[in-house]
Chains A and B, each alone.
Chain A
């Protein structure tokens, strides 16, 4: 009898030991040894990998930056969100994703973490608002501003500083040839360098229809004309198609008239192309793509390339279109991985690491680093970048951003590139379609 009970007891002890053993093994497995970050396929992602390698050297936690081509970046993230998958711990997501990320529960609320650690005070207010906060002005944070970016301008100093050009320009326009401080000057310079017979064109502007290229280009002008994408209570009619907006769009089309032929569906790559091949005297582009222009191996004009921030509009407004991304933690990972992700962000947000981030080529949003002399002097475009980050503006970041974007791209491309209809018609149609989208989504009442 005793032997029988002993056997049963032994079995129970063995079973309990096994459970504890398995549990212990599980706990050991739960210890995070690797972090995975999803970002688009471009140079800054390589820079982040470099920073991640330094984190591994310090903590032993490996950081993998997974890069997805820009064209399918959103699709890949969206598919992962839909599956509530845990393949990635963090994503360096586009600024317009934040509404969807928050509303649909994909992004972890970082408010307490950022406030307790004072991280929200280390970055510039504009970057915190556009890359981290949702809804705007709520004080709720879901992303750490990681890669600041904005639309800036590159120009050919050799052309601008040429004595003959300078004399001819001053004679024609009555003021000296220099990087423009107003949009009117920008137009004059574009017109001045428009010389198709010499295969030289005045300016390169965004016209791309596939994603948001044209909208980014046009809104840089639109914001500078003092117009926004919507007014009080999400009203778009009378705002998107206001008189000033029509003026801004007509102006943008005029600029496109001075652009190199073949830039009818052009975005950042095409802008750099027409600059590098010597066709454009000036181009608009995100600062993130200027390192290529500063590389003599890529750009034969690297030594004579200058940079300036977006000039002031005709009514005294000065804004430029925001690019860049914030680092968000995904909600579908385990608590241990969330904590490990927060630890990484805390480390990454320190001034020391942000300085390193800027040194390797990242566009930091850290206020102190942005203002440091070392940063401003380290590249020819950093001063213009730091200047631009004080007057950036972004478009919609609500979950319906993709739907709102589509009519803008379609109607504006037809007008600017195809010359179909008028600016008024293009913006009227855009406003009407956007109104319907916002009504259907419940932002405004019919």
Chain B
């Protein structure tokens, strides 16, 4: 009887309940996954593919005209038109990336080495050094514009004996790019320092102790212990900063707006000018965005390969 009851209990009603419970778990899972997936598809995946489609079309988002298929013409115009200034924009971006990332690595790593040893006030100094990277790039751009001002700013005051007779950093075609590099280095060296500090603190002390017993010089210890141990994190910093340098926009707009002429016009600034600012060349700007994306992916791959090689030893 008890068995019969148990059978009755585990009959169709209970099975339905169990099914409901199982379905319910799946539903809950779906409820978590699908909104995110839908959001991703709408906000990331669809625009990604739609902009790829638009890059093969002549299209302006404000023209009320449907996209007109032009094949590779937008890409040809960017890469092969003799009067195209896009190569110049890529050159400016490349110079900027090499200079700013290179200097950030040197200064960031140097700061990390200095702050590696704990001393009285080192925590406060580390926090103060980190402040620039917490600021908004547009704000940084605008106040450095004032700092570089030849008549009112303090930069020339410190660099030259006669501030008024000093250089106009933001209007000189050669110095303007350096001005942006200086600000970027000031802002982002702390980030590199932070990564390097975490790498340095992870190096076991016994390595140095063993080296000291073997009478290894400080330089030898640095070259054979410190550098190889920090290299993976340093490469990650290079990767992040290079990607950011290729997207440099807000700081450049805040400081120079790409001037004088297009001497400091990075690819991102040019992209903005093509996509908006009265032009609204949506098709051509989509093509340019894809070229930038391909360059960033290529550069990132090179770094990741290098990173793997370093890890494999």
Which residues of B have CB within 8 Å of A74?
278
Kindly identify which residue among A82, A208, A436 contacts B83, using a CB–CB cutoff of 8 Å.
A436
Q: Is A417 a contact of B61 with CB atoms below 8 Å?
A: no
Instruction: Looking at the assembled complex, report how far the CB atom of B220 sits from the nearest CB atom of chain A, in whole angstroms.
Output: 49
Kindly identify which residue among A197, A199, A211, A264 contacts B170, using a CB–CB cutoff of 8 Å.
A264
Query: Chain A interface: which of B42-50, B147-155, B299-307?
Result: B147-155
For A401, give the chain B residue with the smallest CB separation.
Answer: B278
Kindly identify which residue among B165, B168, B253, B260 contacts A414, using a CB–CB cutoff of 8 Å.
B260
Q: Does A105 contact B (CB under 8 A)?
A: yes
Report the bound CA distance from A405 to B278 in whole Å: 9
- DSSP class of B's interface residues: helix, strand, loop or mixed? loop
Report the bound CA distance from A75 to B61 in whole Å: 11
Which residues of B have CB within 8 Å of A405?
278
Chain A 406-443 against B: per-residue CB contact (8 Å), 1 yes, 0 no? 10001101110111100000000100110010000000
For B262, give the chain A residue with the smallest CB separation.
Answer: A410
Report the bound CA distance from A211 to B64 in whole Å: 23
Which residues of B have CB within 8 Å of A436?
83
Q: Does A334 contact B (CB under 8 A)?
A: no
For A208, give the chain B residue with the smallest CB separation.
Answer: B257
Q: Is B151 a contact of A264 with CB atoms below 8 Å?
A: no
Q: Is A262 a contact of B151 with CB atoms below 8 Å?
A: yes
For B273, give the chain A residue with the smallest CB separation.
Answer: A406
| In the complex, chain A residues 44-73 whose Cβ is within 8 Å of any chain B Cβ | none
Q: Is A419 a contact of B259 with CB atoms below 8 Å?
A: no
Report the bound CA distance from A401 to B279 in whole Å: 8
Q: Does B8 contact A (CB under 8 A)?
A: no
Task: Number of A interface residues at 8 Å Cβ cutoff, please give it.
Answer: 40
Which residues of B have CB within 8 Å of A79?
61-62
Q: Is B64 a contact of A84 with CB atoms below 8 Å?
A: yes
Q: Does A356 contact B (CB under 8 A)?
A: no
Q: Does A139 contact B (CB under 8 A)?
A: no
Chain B 264-302 against A: per-residue CB contact (8 Å), 1 yes, 0 no? 000000000100111111000000000000000000000
For A84, give the chain B residue with the smallest CB separation.
Answer: B64
Chain B residues packing against A (C-beta within 8 Å): 61-64, 83, 85, 148-153, 164-165, 168, 170-173, 253, 256-263, 273, 276-281
Report the bound CA distance from A410 to B274 in whole Å: 13
Which residues of A have CB within 8 Å of B256?
265
For A72, give the chain B residue with the smallest CB separation.
Answer: B276
Which residues of B have CB within 8 Å of A262?
148-153, 168, 170
- 27 interchain pairs, CB-CB under 8 A: A78-B61, A81-B62, A82-B61, A82-B63, A104-B64, A196-B165, A199-B164, A209-B258, A260-B151, A262-B149, A262-B150, A262-B153, A264-B260, A265-B259, A279-B151, A402-B279, A403-B278, A403-B281, A410-B262, A411-B261, A414-B261, A414-B262, A417-B260, A418-B172, A418-B263, A420-B260, A420-B261
Q: Does A261 contact B (CB under 8 A)?
A: yes
